[in-house]
Structure 1
Amino acid sequence: MNSAITIILLIDDNGAVVRIMKEYTVALKILIVGCGDIGTPLGLQLAAAGHQVWGLRRSSLLPAPLKTINADVTVAATLSVLADLSFDCVVMTLTPAAFSDAGYEQVFNQGLLNVLQRLKQPLQIKRLFFISSTSVYHQSDGQWVDEYSPVEPVSFSGKRLLQAEQSLVASGIAFSIIRFAGIYGPGRQRLLDQVMSGQGSAKTPSLYTNRIHRDDCVGFLAHLVGKVAQGKSVEPCYIGVDSQPVTMWELKRWLAQQLGVDPERLTQEESSRRNSKRCSNKRLLATGYQLQYPGYQSGYTELIKAYLNSNK
């Protein structure tokens, strides 16, 4: 494997060098399973950093310099090519074909097992990063949760994801689970459409929502892979959210103001969601990663401009 050395000089107030640090970065062989709007830009970012990156997706070619593997995680026979390749890191960003219990079981449970069974020498992989969701948390009273909080999911999606997490823990492979929440960004404009159509949210009971911009999902994953390349330790679980939990009522009223919609005209609809929690990102920030969009206002501002321009 190729490697690079970064020299870091620590200088005191008088300009004198007080310490010299060396950071070794190893070029990794990385497999990204699931190359959508997170996996593909992640692969390109990692390739730009000097890593070799393979991307597994059902069909179509990935942009250069990514190496394409066309396969379906739900069809074990299509994954036979993995036995001929060796990887240092694996990132799994899976997306079910349908938002249903069967769809989630097929992709997150059976799909994960299919990949684990066909990886060459899986126990020698430095790290497998599995993208999960904060839906594994059951808390519903607006309390704060972190990576140590109990998980007793009530939704089918949370239950299936927790089962996948447990399978990964039992596999013996070195892993990190990243529980993202409320991913938004280009092409993810469901809330904007709702607000434009006048659909609001009830003020009470308070329903907290946690969010993270797509670019920060990519950035944080690349940051973690970079730590592995430098031989640094990473935690087995991270919550991936920004620094600003907000009630859905407050969020939709703010979006309405930015979109030119009268907030007072929004309907006060009760949500079918019953989970209401505030997710802590202290562990994420402790890694040294700096959020590009630390709150929903900064993240949605650019999206709103593009949204309004596209609807002129």
Structure 2
Amino acid sequence: MDKVLLSLGHGFSARELARRLVPKGWTVIGTTRKPEKFEAFEAEGVKPLLWPCDLRDALKGVTHLLTSAGPDEEGDPIMRVGRQAIVDAAPRLEWVGYLSTTGVYGDHDGGWVDEESPTDPATVRGQRRVMAEREWLDIEGLPVHVFRLAGIYGPGRGPFAKLRKGVAQRVIKKNQIFSRTHVEDIAQVLEASIMHPNPGRIYNVCDDDPAPPQDVIEYAAKLLGMEPPPAVPFEEANMSPMARSFYSDSKRVRNDRIKDELGVVLKYPTYTSALDAMLEAEQE
């Protein structure tokens, strides 16, 4: 039977997954609100689909479903327009992936969390994610897998671009720790789950090296041969409300489950190894 993945909100992480699946004979359909993205999708072997669309029609022949769409003030946008279509398709679907965030755990003052830790988000955005996760998990018979992603980076998205543009800040907040994950490791986790489905399971997706954000900026600056930006106290930093909200949570995220259950060996277990490789790839 042919494998067909419908990717709702086909963005940075989903496109990396498609790069792994398309060469293996998968059909990948990716939705976007922007027709100007069609050409790029097609160049990657992905069939573009303009959103919004009739989800019932879009799901015909689909065996696997991935949703990257974040909730808004009205809840999960996919559920809002297509819940019944998903309910009806549930018996035909082999795997469903919901991309969430480690922000659902809230603040742990730099302490460790795993998938069994209670969800206690400190932000409205995190609270919406908890509700969205539950909406997907509560559909009877739907083979949902939830992936709680740490801070995502990869080619074109990370500290190098900010440093080169002169907008990077070395923000200092006492006991602030972030976990992060490279987009290629997200993709390999998703593929491993597709190969070994376990409906209802939740997975943290992050590397082995949670660290203060200023350490990452300092290391990236060193690699570029630049002076790191001056230290700025959190209270004085020039940040958008969205960026500032990320600093309301401080925690270290465990990733044992993706290794023990899915057999994942991280390509980039530390931010230093990832940044080294990203810069080397740029220079090739």
TMscore range, shorter length:
0.7 to 0.9
Counterpart check, 1:111 vs 2:78: yes
Paired amino acid for 2:176: L
Q: Paired residue for 2:252? A: 278
Q: Paired residue for 1:257? A: 222
Distance 1:198 1:290, change over 3 A: closer
Q: Paired residue for 2:231? A: 267
CA contact (8 A) 2:163 2:221 kept: no
Q: Paired residue for 1:167? A: 135
Counterpart check, 1:177 vs 2:140: no
Tell me how far 1:175 sits from its aligned partner: 0.6
Tell me how far 1:306 sits from its aligned partner: 6.5
Q: Paired residue for 2:240? A: none
Distance 1:198 1:55, change over 3 A: closer
Distance 1:140 1:36, change over 3 A: same
1:82 to 58, 75, 78: 58
Counterpart check, 1:32 vs 2:7: yes
Q: Please, what is the CA RMSD of the aligned residues?
A: 2.7
Q: How does 1:147-162 map to 2 (within 5 A)?
A: 147-162=115-130
- Please give the per-residue CA displacement for 1:269-294, whole angstroms capped at 9, x wherever unaligned: 21741211000000011111111111
> Structure 2: how far apart are the matches of 1:198 and 1:168?
37
**Aligned to 1:69, what secondary structure does the other structure show?**
strand
CA contact (8 A) 1:192 1:255 kept: no
Tell me how far 1:198 sits from its aligned partner: 6.2
Counterpart check, 1:70 vs 2:50: yes
Paired amino acid for 1:299: A
TM-score by length of 2: 0.82
**Aligned to 1:121, what secondary structure does the other structure show?**
helix
TM-score by length of 1: 0.75
> Structure 2: how far apart are the matches of 1:139 and 1:215?
27
> Structure 1: how far apart are the matches of 2:199 and 2:254?
17
> Structure 2: how far apart are the matches of 1:177 and 1:268?
36
CA contact (8 A) 2:10 2:32 kept: yes
Paired amino acid for 2:258: L
Tell me how far 1:148 sits from its aligned partner: 0.3
**Aligned to 1:209, what secondary structure does the other structure show?**
coil
> Structure 1: how far apart are the matches of 2:129 and 2:156?
24
Tell me how far 1:128 sits from its aligned partner: 1.0
Distance 1:213 1:113, change over 3 A: same
**Aligned to 1:243, what secondary structure does the other structure show?**
coil
CA contact (8 A) 2:98 2:144 kept: yes
Q: Paired residue for 2:241? A: none
The structure with more radius of gyration: 1
> Structure 1: how far apart are the matches of 2:133 and 2:175?
29
Gap regions ≥5 residues in structure 1: 2-26, 97-102
Name whichever of 166-175 and 39-48 sits farther off. 39-48
> Structure 2: how far apart are the matches of 1:121 and 1:198?
45
Counterpart check, 1:129 vs 2:97: yes
Q: Paired residue for 2:278? A: 303
2:212 to 236, 244, 247: 247
